[in-house]
Chains A and B, each alone.
Chain A
Amino acid sequence: MADTQIFSGAFAEPVLAAQSVFRTVMDCMARPGTIGTIAATARPPQPLGVAAGAVALTLCDHDTPVWLTPQLARSKLPGWLSFHTGAPITGEKHEARFAFVEKEAVLPGFALFSPGTQEYPDRSATLVVEVDSFEDGRPLKLSGPGIRDEAVIAPQGLPDTFVALAEANRAMFPRGVDLILVAGDRVLCLPRTTVIKNREA
């Protein structure tokens, strides 16, 4: 039965798991560059990773239209999301409150998603992007709220255009999208306030 993939794989203890995942994400959002570990186990359909699945179960519901990459949209994921969270799937990027991008997929331009409005900058999308790993990538220098002086991260699997995309996003402040990067069961957040620069070697 192919559909077991849709009906299983949610949190065993939804209330406490959602709380624990949220706290990890909240701490990472408050301290950009900090890598957190998702303690609760979600098993979303391939090719979505476990941390991204846990974030979806924790934050998505009827009120949050979700955009998926073409490959995710063709997988069992839409059924899984709809069964466990009730979140509507949208094909329109600008309608999405959350977007999920699996490992090695093409990262769409941030500007295609809603950055909110000047009056309501909170009405913006959150992008959950899976990367290969948080180690050994090209080093990026982070600064901004939540970071004492500066932080350095080295995620592997982001496109070369990432720094330019982030800079354009930052320039729209207070509007802009927020990023949750995931790798395996780990998570790292880059809110719109974070200034991201290539670190000169």
Chain B
Amino acid sequence: MNAVPSELATYNFAYLDEQTKRMIRRTILKAIAIPGYQVPFASREMPMPYGWGTGGVQVTAAILGPEDVLKVIDQGADDTTNAVSIRAFFQKVANVAVTTKTREATIIQTRHRIPEEKLTAGQTLVYQVPIPEPLRFLEPRETETRKMHALEEYGLMHVKLYEDIARNGHIATTYSYPVKVEGRYVMSPSPTPKFDNPKMHMSEALQLFGAGREKRIYALPPFTDVVSLDFEDHPFEVQKFERPCALCGAENVYLDEVVLDDRGGRMFVCSDTDHCEDRRDHGHCGTMLAYGKAAAE
């Protein structure tokens, strides 16, 4: 018996075999036709771990073509290791053009952020989703949550948010903040900060959500009504930062807190690295950058 494997299989364009792509493509079309509804799909084992973007990777692999320009971000940044790894995967298996510039990309795969720059009609945003079910932490059983969606029975979610208000005076959900799509399905925006929720509403870009481990795909077509759940006396509001980005001076963007030393020194900079670089290239300057420049001169 020959114990040594002589030849291993070679991989198809964009890694997935054609049968798998067809299955995912059919799923995507149904997801678009039923905005906010999680379509089950036979998620495949991918060569990266579950929980690390296998859903997003499968969606991207099923839609990607040779003419696309791909951008991959994690936490808003192109240079986080998992974003680098996923980008390198598609360069390898699909030989696709990549970019870090939001406006040059036709497909943007993301984990935890929506780019600051307004997305446009030719673009598709692919989200990596860990737990697609917005009701999962209220009801762990799939059999139950499926019924709740079928019957549009979302009282539990309102009760949970209202309990927050009763206890804290405000809703204590800061990310994965649930939304209602076209007045029908309650949907998880994936763990993006609620700061990004308003960007989903009536977006010009197509938004696709892939959850590999949980085997679900869902979608928001462009120009779709996406409303964050709230109450009349406690309207939805997003995080506000007290100061602009220390590097590019941008306001009304999501900021990362960077610890500078062990004496409580901190600075706040754009989480969207491309947005920040683009602003700096166009001459915008935050306090820290100005300070750095002055010191250099």
Residues of A within 8 A of B (CB): 14-16, 18-20, 22-23, 25-27, 29-31, 58-64, 97, 117-122, 124, 126, 145-148, 173-174, 178, 191-193
Contacts and interface: CB of A to CB of B under 8 A. Distances in A.
A89 B220 CA distance: 32
Nearest to B218: A122
Nearest to A178: B33
A15 B18 contact: yes
Contact of B66 (A16, A22, A64): A16
Nearest to B23: A63
Given A26-B29, A59-B22, A192-B34, A119 B40 contact: no
A193 B182 contact: yes
Nearest to A62: B19
Contacts of B184: 173-174
A47 to B, nearest CB: 25
Interface string B61-98: 01111100000000000000000000000000000000
Interface in B183-198: 184-185
A194 to B, nearest CB: 9
A119 B150 contact: yes
A27 B123 CA distance: 10
19 contacts: A15-B12, A18-B21, A18-B22, A29-B33, A30-B206, A30-B219, A30-B221, A31-B121, A64-B26, A97-B26, A122-B34, A122-B37, A145-B221, A145-B224, A146-B221, A174-B34, A191-B221, A193-B34, A193-B182
Contacts of A146: 32, 221-224
Interface in B30-65: 30-35, 37, 39-40, 62-65
Interface string B93-130: 00000000000000000000000000001000000000
A63 B21 CA distance: 13
B147 interface: yes
Interface size class of B (residues with CB under 8 A): 35 or more
A58 B224 contact: no
B223 A147 contact: yes
A2 to B, nearest CB: 28
Contacts of A27: 206
Contacts of A120: 40
A89 B39 CA distance: 25
Contact of B65 (A20, A25, A192): A20
A193 B33 contact: yes
Given A122-B34, A178-B33, A22 B222 contact: no
B211 to A, nearest CB: 15
A19 B65 contact: yes
Given A58-B25, A59-B22, A19 B35 contact: no
Which 6 pairs between the two chains have the least Cβ-Cβ distance? A191-B33, A146-B221, A122-B30, A118-B150, A145-B224, A122-B39
Nearest to B221: A146
A15 to B, nearest CB: 5
Which of B39, B149, B202, B222 has the most C-beta atoms of chain A within 10 angstroms of its own C-beta? B222
A30 B222 contact: yes
A22 B25 contact: yes
Interface string B188-217: 000000000000001000100000000000
A148 B224 CA distance: 8
Contacts of B221: 29-31, 145-146, 191, 193
Given A16-B65, A61-B19, A173-B184, A192 B25 contact: no
